[in-house]
Chains A and B, each alone.
Chain A
Amino acid sequence: MVKKERHVLVIFPHPDDEAFGVSGTISAHIASGTPVTYACLTLGEMGRNVGNPPIATRESLPDVRKKELEEAADAMGLTDLRMMGYRDKTLEFLAPGVLKSMVEELVAELNPTLVISFYPEHSVHPDHNATAEAVVEALADMPKETRPTFYAVAITLDNPDVVYSVKDYMREKLLALRAHHSQFGATFAEREKHYRGGDPEIVERLENERFFNYKFADDA
């Protein structure tokens, strides 16, 4: 299943972006001895699922989501969680180059052989796309020989290049999903019931994680 890497760098804008799509892959890399860093750009300050009675206000939600993110990291076995301090829904408005430099600094420090993030223009949320574009800009500037592989998660593309079975890491993945309670809470409890009941569509969605091998302009 997952290849041994020197270091895997995961970059997503919101706590919970990792959960459905890549948390099994993260656990698999950690289990195979590859160090993994998850840089999470915001604390999901604009989350809207607060329940009724509301468990959080606009002001307390970031603290709630920070704890959930830490809990998800623990569930995945992840020890290097970076919270980058940007604000939900503002990423596309940042000054030019800010996010690109952030990615460049992480890549320079960690020297990853694999970077995982969203796919530009195919990730539905403006923060997702802004993050994806910054990753592409930063990696495109690197010489081809030292550039890490970029596995992109796309929401609106079909036929992924890489599909990992994360069946062996479902315990970790379900815990990571459950950790983001303020976001998935009741919805996920329902989904988990169907998963445990063997609903083939949900089993297939959850036990496989899908990536596009991003092609840079100078890639063969």
Chain B
Amino acid sequence: MEPIAVTRVQTLIDSFARKDVYLHLETTNGAYASHFDQSFFSAGAYIRNAHINYKHGKIIGDGPYRVGLELNIGWVYGEGLTHFELNEDGQLILAGLNHEDKIAVTLEISEQPFRK
């Protein structure tokens, strides 16, 4: 993965638009967060292989970045994104690393289902 280059990522987002694609979206603090700090409210969300088709998508911000995808019947968005990669399987991987360089958010789009 490399730091997000906005124009490149926008082109990649556009390349998946109006296609049936698979979505992976997660936010996470790590399961140990509240063990180390009891005042920490650990929240996260995870969806793997949601099957969506978005009309258009945008990347916004000056880093960390936000990505929103508009569906015919709804929305997908993620924020805190810092890095990207188009991997060898043609999957667009966007991830956000926090100040400790740990993954805090991931948004991925693929034409083939992600591995379970």
Residues on A close to B: CB < 8 A?
A: 46-54, 57-60, 62, 87, 89, 124-127, 155
Question: With A59-B89, A87-B116 known to touch, is A52 a contact of B31 (CB < 8 Å)?
Answer: no
Contact of A89 among B46, B102, B103, B116 (CB under 8 A): B46
Question: With A48-B103, A50-B101 known to touch, is A59 a contact of B108 (CB < 8 Å)?
Answer: yes
Question: With A52-B101, A125-B31, A125-B32 known to touch, is A59 a contact of B2 (CB < 8 Å)?
Answer: no
A-B contact pairs, 24 of them (CB 8 A): A46-B26, A47-B103, A48-B102, A48-B104, A49-B101, A50-B1, A52-B97, A52-B101, A53-B2, A53-B83, A54-B95, A54-B103, A57-B106, A58-B95, A58-B103, A58-B108, A59-B87, A59-B93, A59-B115, A60-B87, A124-B32, A124-B35, A125-B31, A125-B32
Contact of A46 among B28, B35, B101, B108 (CB under 8 A): B28
Residues on B close to A: CB < 8 A?
A: 1-2, 24, 26, 28, 30-32, 35, 46, 83, 85, 87, 89, 91, 93, 95, 97, 101-104, 106, 108, 114-116
Question: For chain A, what secondary structure do more than half of its interface residues adopt (helix, strand, loop), or is it mixed?
Answer: loop
A57 touches B93 (CB 8 A): yes
Q: A78 to nearest B CB, angstroms?
A: 26
Q: B2 to nearest A CB, angstroms?
A: 7
Within 8 Å CB of B102, what residues of A?
48-50
Q: B36 to nearest A CB, angstroms?
A: 10
A54 touches B83 (CB 8 A): yes
Within 8 Å CB of B95, what residues of A?
50, 54, 57-58
Q: B21 to nearest A CB, angstroms?
A: 15
A47, A48, A124, A125 — most chain B CB neighbours (10 Å) = A48
| Chain A residue with the shortest CB-CB distance to B104 | A48
